[in-house]
Structure 1
Amino acid sequence: MKKSIILFFVILFLFHSYQVIHAQEMKSYSKLAEMKDALDRSNVTVKNWSLYTKGSIGFTEDVNGYRQQVALLKNAAQGFKWSRMKSNEHFKITGVRFSASGHVKERITLVAYPQKGKLATYLVYAAKGKGWNENVVLPFIRTYHDRVATYFEGKSSTFSCISGIHNGTMNFGLYKQALEIMTTFSAVPVEQLKEETFVSISAYTKQWDEKINTAHKAMNLQIAIRNQGMGGQTAVTIGTPIITSEY
């Protein structure tokens, strides 16, 4: 009887974990799909999309503890080609892997730095895909979140981003075009930067739960448009909650 009860709770836990991971998968795909739709409306061709997850691993006593974490990560992240461990003021090792089709590149980095007499460690896992093919994007996002659940034991944050190119002349100026894109998310501006060839708007939309707090208000959407000169292309990037440049 006791074994049956334990088995029941194990199954219940696994089912709950599956539901959580599946919900995260659909959130990530939904956000990327919404951003892709916004680019379509502006006649922008998708060039790439990316997912970026960062989380704290905790503390380890010394470099030997860090090496043990590296060994565990390598065992969990099979198929990555690893760099040599770098060390100066902090320790860092990076693994890279390409999908069989070559359309998706994954990168995972484990970093440790001195803090309070120990080494604080954090992990970054990122993926970048070329173009937009739903038959590639959706299955990979499922795989991505499975790996996030494997690599990250504690709390982590995931960022989504999509970029594209407009080859012709945009119907509006850069700022008005950014506002036009922003309205497709029913968002309100929080901060903005306007230059002759570059515009960036940080905004907040109630459509998405995640947010970060700035000095002014909460935000969870960022839009950047850069004109690449006379007769050149116009690059458009959308990210949530912010555009990540680290990857």
Structure 2
Amino acid sequence: MSSNIKKMFSYIVILGLIAMLFGNSTIMAKDKTDIVTMTELIEKEENLTIESWSVYARERTLSIKDQHSFESEVNKLKADFPLFIWKHENNASGWKAIGTYTNAETKNKEIINLMSTRENNQMVTYIIYEVKGSHWDHEAKSFFTTTFEKRTDDIFREKPLIFSCIQGTISDTMDTVLTSEITRLLGVFKGKTIESMKEPNFISVSGQTSLFDQYLEKKHHLNLQLALRTEGLSGKTTFVVGTPIVTFEY
């Protein structure tokens, strides 16, 4: 991940991280995953190039109460996903297991992360499933239309919260100001601004769009985030679009 992208994340992750960890989202049923909708819209724009994408599914559960039940859950996942490589980390604060799998043909990576820790005198477990790739193509789209739902059904006990993120570049030389460009991107996603933050070479917008059904109840039904960073005159402009919360590194 480039230093510019990491800097971009540092500006906009604070808004979403707390909500992501403690769950203030509402989910409604839909036929198409957000990542497919997002990529279809971006691919219609000639000057936008997708360089990487990621999807996170997350569930918080209280049903894993001790190390024995944690290991039982891990063993179940190992049986369901035999191609994944697993690592364990246990300490005084809790237990952690991570399974990873990289597709040899597409190079897309899948990660299953179980983390149990004590909160308010009870064990809480976060189950996170991540899929990410360096480019978007027919195989990536096919995964989300044919395989992704089965993956989440096998991993999670209930319907998880799902967060999608796309990173890329804008090919145009930035003759216009960032505010004009982000207004154009808002139009692509049929969004309206709820909150925004602006610096000389950076701008981010948290907004609302009818395209996505999952939203943050305590943030005015926020379900879209956009960010742009430019390296200056004639420099590269990087974009990030996420719904409803941009990705974070754990």
Shorter-chain TM-score bucket reads 0.7 to 0.9
Matched residue, 1:163? 167
Contact 1:31 1:160 in 2 (8 A): no
Post-superposition shift, 1:232? 3.4
Structure of higher RCO (CA pairs closer than 8 Å, 6+ residues apart): 2
Q: Report SS of the residue matched to 2:82.
A: coil
How many Å separate the matches in 2 of 1:170 and 1:93?
Answer: 44
Match of 2:32 among 26, 33, 37: 26
Matched residue, 2:227? 224
Amino acid at match of 2:43: D
How many Å separate the matches in 2 of 1:163 and 1:232?
Answer: 17
Post-superposition shift, 1:29? 5.0
Aligned residues: CA RMSD: 2.2
Matched residue, 1:241? 244
Matched residue, 1:136? 139
How many Å separate the matches in 2 of 1:86 and 1:179?
Answer: 47
How many Å separate the matches in 1 of 2:151 and 2:177?
Answer: 41
Alignment of 1:23-102 (within 5 A): 26-28=32-34, 30-37=36-43, 40-41=45-46, 43-102=47-106
- Structure 1 209/185 Cα, relative in aligned 2: closer, same or farther at 3 Å? same
Name the larger-Rg structure.
1
- Structure 2: gaps spanning 5 or more residues: 1-28
Q: Report SS of the residue matched to 2:174.
A: coil
How many Å separate the matches in 2 of 1:28 and 1:207?
Answer: 8
Post-superposition shift, 1:88? 4.2
Q: Report SS of the residue matched to 2:79.
A: helix
Give me the identity figure in percent. Answer: 29
Contact 1:92 1:109 in 2 (8 A): yes
Q: Report SS of the residue matched to 1:103.
A: coil
Deviations along 1:3-39, one digit per CA (max 9) or x if unpaired, are: xxxxxxxxxxxxxxxxxxxx7562335423344236x
Contact 2:208 2:223 in 1 (8 A): yes
Matched residue, 1:122? 126
TM-score under structure 1 normalisation? 0.81
Contact 1:60 1:118 in 2 (8 A): no
Contact 1:48 1:164 in 2 (8 A): yes
Matched residue, 1:4? none
